[in-house]
């Protein structure tokens, strides 16, 4: 990042909320966006997702194809979501007000909140388990509820501290995490190469009943990782100058997701070893425990380091955006710092209750996939809207709700645009009905395609068709496509008024 101002030291707490970032403060680059995305996914949580093909019974080779397919398709869908931040200078939930209405943007806020809590929890749990498990093998530290609780608390407090300091401190953390975690994962090649068998066959082969259900299910789990970033990209890209070429921004997003194949394939390869040497762990869906059981002793320290570094980077990218967004939902009550503290404390409470009182670890893993099913049609509607509007937005009118005002281009029907909402609600509901995650969740229509999970293709297609149909049958007001002349611009100004 080109940061030549002394007042922007890492020790300074970020004061910007969701209001439009001034042009003179936009000194980030697409490479910074790459680091934040990749750093947020370069962790044990992604390696756990990489183990799913083995859990579903696929061979190593089929697992590779499923992961690559899911990551590539997810990256292509995700890439345009990085454009809203530079265009509007705010996060994606606020930008969604252009297509859902300035009040309807709370849909994006709600989705980002659920996604952040789910992935923050999964990150803390997986990293904490790996850290304590590695310390047990390395230092003979007992693995008890107390030591696990201390590990979870350590991660959660460190993440919360970074998020309070804000964007630049988070970028610095991820700059370190990208290289350190990548090198440690690559070191795993030497740790597990002697035991790895690329011919691992799994329990379901091509041509057998259930193969395609397992393959598509594994691909959709991999696809959920890039899709999970959809609500958050604007949190970081809003610091990129608006004149930055759009192709460079989307390329940074795609490249970051392709780089996540490192932890994905690490998880897949090591899961095959666990399946052979310690199959009981696979049967119990305990990949992290199985990994520690088959690791050579000299790799325990790298495991602990990956846990610390990965837990920090993933947790910050999840929690930062939600605190930022909640401050815009309740602008008169919560600043960015206060909102981050509130969401952070609630998330920490959920982590401890979910782990020790309710045993929700597996449930949250399933819940995260279900959230993605609801987020995908929201992203599709925004991307179609971006294309239909030809990239035109009025950033000032997007802030109407934040300022407590009414009116403007995106007021529509009392702040709600029923075209976007009318496409998102049925698409999300129908998508949930088609979810089929073997052994986890099967929707009421999940078996309709012979056990194959077609939830994302269905929700993608339905959202596209319904939204385009609504736009055609009920055209949006002319002013959302940009003013024709100065008179139409001036005509909009009186519509803005202070809310009672």
Q: What is the pLDDT of residues 420-466, one digit of tens each?
A: 999 999 999 999 998 887 667 788 888 887 777 788 889 999 999 99
Predicted local confidence at residue 489, as pLDDT: 45
pLDDT in tens, 481-495: 876 543 444 444 444
pLDDT in tens, 95-126: 999 999 999 988 988 888 887 787 777 778 87
Give me the mean pLDDT over the 257-270 stretch: 93
At residue 3 the predicted structure's pLDDT band, cuts being 50, 70 and 90, is: very low
Write the DSSP symbol of residue 106: H
pLDDT in tens, 126-139: 778 877 877 887 77
What is the maximum span of the chain, computed from C-alpha positions, in angstroms? 75
At residue 258 the predicted structure's pLDDT band, cuts being 50, 70 and 90, is: very high
114 vs 305: CA distance, rounded Å: 28
Angle at 121 between CA 120 and CA 122, to 5 degrees: 95
Of the two residues 381 and 138, the one the predictor is more confident about is 381
**Residue 195: beta bridge partners?**
none
Of the two residues 339 and 32, the one the predictor is more confident about is 32
pLDDT in tens, 306-345: 777 777 777 777 777 677 677 667 767 777 777 778 888 8
Nearest to residue 318, comparing CAs of 265, 387, 371? 371
300 vs 137: CA distance, rounded Å: 7
Of the two residues 500 and 365, the one the predictor is more confident about is 365
Predicted local confidence at residue 101, as pLDDT: 94
Predicted local confidence at residue 123, as pLDDT: 75
pLDDT in tens, 55-68: 888 999 999 999 99
Predicted local confidence at residue 254, as pLDDT: 96
Dihedral sign of CA atoms 109, 168, 261, 361 in order: negative
Predicted local confidence at residue 293, as pLDDT: 82
pLDDT in tens, 209-256: 778 888 888 888 888 889 888 888 888 888 899 999 999 999 999 999
278 vs 123: CA distance, rounded Å: 24
Give me the mean pLDDT over the 28-38 stretch: 88
């Amino acid at each position: 990042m080109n940061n030549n101002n002394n007042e922007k030291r890492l020790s300074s707490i970020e004061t910007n909320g969701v209001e439009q970032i001034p042009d003179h403060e936009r000194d980030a680059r697409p490479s910074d966006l790459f680091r934040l995305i990749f750093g947020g996914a370069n962790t044990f949580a992604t390696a756990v997702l990489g183990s799913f093909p083995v859990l579903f019974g696929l061979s190593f080779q089929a697992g590779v194809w499923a992961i690559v397919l899911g990551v590539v398709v997810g990256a292509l869908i995700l890439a345009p979501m990085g454009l809203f931040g530079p265009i509007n200078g705010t996060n994606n939930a606020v930008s969604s007000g252009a297509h859902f209405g300035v009040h309807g943007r709370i849909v994006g806020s709600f989705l980002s909140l659920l996604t952040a809590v789910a992935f923050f929890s999964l990150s803390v749990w997986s990293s904490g388990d790996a850290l304590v498990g590695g310390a047990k093998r390395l230092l003979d530290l007992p693995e008890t509820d107390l030591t696990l609780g201390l590990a979870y608390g350590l991660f959660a407090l460190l993440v919360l501290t970074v998020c309070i300091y804000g964007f630049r401190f988070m970028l610095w953390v991820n700059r370190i995490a990208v290289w350190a975690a990548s090198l440690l994962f690559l070191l795993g090649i030497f740790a597990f190469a002697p035991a790895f068998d690329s011919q691992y066959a799994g329990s379901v082969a091509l041509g057998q009943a259930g193969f395609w259900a397992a393959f598509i299910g594994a691909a959709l789990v991999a696809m959920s990782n890039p899709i999970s970033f959809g609500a958050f990209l604007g949190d970081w890209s809003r610091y990129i100058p608006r004149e930055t070429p759009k192709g460079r921004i989307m390329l940074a997003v795609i490249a970051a997701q392709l780089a996540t194949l490192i932890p994905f394939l690490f998880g897949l390869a090591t899961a095959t070893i666990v399946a052979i040497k310690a199959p009981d762990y696979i049967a119990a869906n305990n990949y992290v425990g199985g990994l520690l059981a088959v690791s050579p002793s000299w790799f325990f320290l790298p495991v602990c380091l990956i846990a610390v570094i990965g837990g920090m980077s993933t947790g910050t990218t999840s929690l930062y955006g939600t605190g930022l967004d909640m401050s815009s939902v309740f602008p008169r009550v919560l600043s960015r710092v206060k909102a981050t503290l509130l969401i952070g404390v609630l998330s920490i409470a959920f982590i401890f209750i979910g782990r020790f009182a309710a045993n929700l670890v597996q449930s949250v893993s399933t819940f995260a996939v279900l959230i993605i099913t609801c987020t995908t049609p929201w992203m599709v509607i925004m991307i179609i809207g971006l294309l239909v509007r030809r990239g035109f937005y009025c950033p000032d009118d997007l802030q109407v709700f934040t300022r407590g005002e009414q009116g403007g281009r995106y007021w529509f029907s009392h702040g709600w645009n029923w075209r976007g909402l009318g496409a998102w609600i049925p698409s999300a509901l129908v998508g949930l009905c088609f979810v089929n995650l073997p052994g986890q969740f099967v929707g009421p229509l999940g078996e309709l395609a012979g056990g194959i999970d077609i939830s994302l293709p269905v929700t993608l297609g339905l959202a596209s068709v319904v939204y385009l149909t609504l736009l055609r049958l009920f055209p949006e007001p002319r002013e959302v496509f940009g003013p024709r002349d100065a008179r139409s611009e001036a005509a909009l100004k009186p519509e803005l008024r202070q809310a009672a």
